[in-house]
Amino acid sequence: MRQICWKVLSFFLLLGAPVYGQATDRPNVLFIAIDDLNDWIGALNGHPQVKTPNIDRLAKMGVLFANAHTQATLCNPSRVSILTGLRPETTGIYNLAPHHRDVAITRDVVTLPQYFESQGYRTLSNGKIFHSIGTTPEKRAEFQEWGSIGGGTAGHPPQKLVGDTHMGNHPLLDWGVYPETGDSVRNDYKVATWAEEKLALLKEQSDRPFFLAVGFWLPHVPLFATRKWFDLYPEEEPLYLPPAPPDDRDDVPPFAWYLHWYLPEVRLSWLQEHHQWESKVRSYLATISFTDAQVGRVLDALERNGLTENTIVVLWSDHGFHLGEKGITGKNTLWERSTHVPLLFAGKGIPGGGVCRQPVELLDIYPTLLELAGLPEKSGLEGVSLVPQLQNPDTPRERPAITTHNPGNHSVRSLRWRYIRYADGSEELYDHLQDPHEHHNLAGRKAYREIKEDHARWLRAKDAPHAPGSKHRKLEKKNGHWYWEEQLIVAEELIK
């Protein structure tokens, strides 16, 4: 039935005609994605020194979801979940591959931009929205118009700025001042320029509303920015480093290491040994501020072209990023630093200055945008519309936020608690009221048994297995043994 419905929808899309008819009074949608941005924005108070005036401006214009969490702490599964409205444990897409059009359950799914196109919207995209774009017509069907940039940072210095690193010495694992004087050479700058140009054109093409997706790569590695952004965080001023006590993993199950067993990201021990911890944190902050400036350029263009009042703006990040917490850098964990992300809605029909502290999911973006735009509901979506919270941020939600990283590994984040259960049955529990940095695992204490059970009831008895073609960050059990990217995990080979 799914294939038949998609073929019918595709027929109408090819004709250029919406299924339900055009409505020129419907709001536009500006869909802003940022890669690897944790909660280090001013509005979330994630880092006391971060400078993000433009994202903070957007937060004041609308509603900030201060307890928003990703469905997967890795680019591809997170973005597939957001744009299909399905959980990783439904699709079996947990890793950097496969592409969603190569998986049976999502091969014919109508993604978020396709649904808007079916309702008469003009859809455009540039930068990193999906993890991978693909080259076939089936994989280029998500948008009517694609910009020339699919992601990346537009070049590397002749040699790595930080020299050789452990964990594979990956070329992306680099940070520091980019050896160019101007920002215009950076891909994210070019994406913002493209958005400025498109918004000027869309102002004149008012016969139908638009869905404009703008995807920024930074602060994804490599953490390069030009000198002006590093000057916001001068080396002569003391830099706040994330709390990372040396005993922080003493009460964490050993299985937690399996989720990030061997990655192209350095451990905190390497940063400390090579005196690079401050440098990497400063580079992360500089790239955040650079990206914030590009967001500001797009928001300014929206206002300059008189489109602000009739446009819904949503800004999100696909997952967070560790900068030393729990002894690591990067993502691929089920802790707050990796799951907690910015999520903001502003624009037509959304009151300004609201902050919602209820647990919400990026999965909720799809149904929320449909309701805000006045479009028919789409069956099969696994998220829940956030419109009640946009109207009144204090409106409670029964559901917690669930994050998954490979089958059987889940985090359940409620208003106060984070419960983690790993595929081997080991657990963690953190009280965010008393322990916001998740330093004290309470899972082994009998007094918290009911709290664990209340959170565990949201987890499925069985997750979908890895989809065919799954690879990169793949963790699976075979013949009673655990394998990381097809290599047997040997406990004695762990790099800490």
Q: Active-site residues: which are they?
A: 75, 131
Name the one residue in this structure whose structure tokens are 């080991």: 426
What are the tokens at 131? 């993890």
Half-sphere exposure of 440 (CA within 13 A, CB side): 9
Name the one residue in this structure whose structure tokens are 């937060």: 59
Name the one residue in this structure whose structure tokens are 């830099």: 239
How far apart CA 114 and CA 121 sit, in angstroms, is 9
Burial (CB < 10 A; 0-12, 13-18, 19+), residue 15, is: exposed
What are the tokens at 464? 């979908």
Check residue 129 and report its DSSP letter: S
Burial (CB < 10 A; 0-12, 13-18, 19+), residue 306, is: exposed
How far apart CA 268 and CA 324 sit, in angstroms, is 5
Q: CB within 8 A of 211, min separation 6: which ones?
A: 28, 29, 31, 113, 116, 117, 121, 122, 123, 124
**Cis, peptide link before residue 222, omega less than 30° from 0:** yes
Residue 349's CB is within 10 A of a number of other CB atoms, namely: 15
How far apart CA 439 and CA 365 sit, in angstroms, is 31
Given a contact cutoff of 8 angstroms between Cβ atoms, the answer to whether 202 and 231 are in contact is no
Half-sphere exposure of 284 (CA within 13 A, CB side): 30
| Helix, strand counts (H, E) of the chain | 13, 21
CA distances from 195 to 38, 122, 127, 192, 307 (A): 24, 14, 10, 5, 13
Cα-Cα-Cα-Cα torsion 19, 20, 21, 23, nearest 10 degrees, comes to -130
Check residue 27 and report its DSSP letter: P
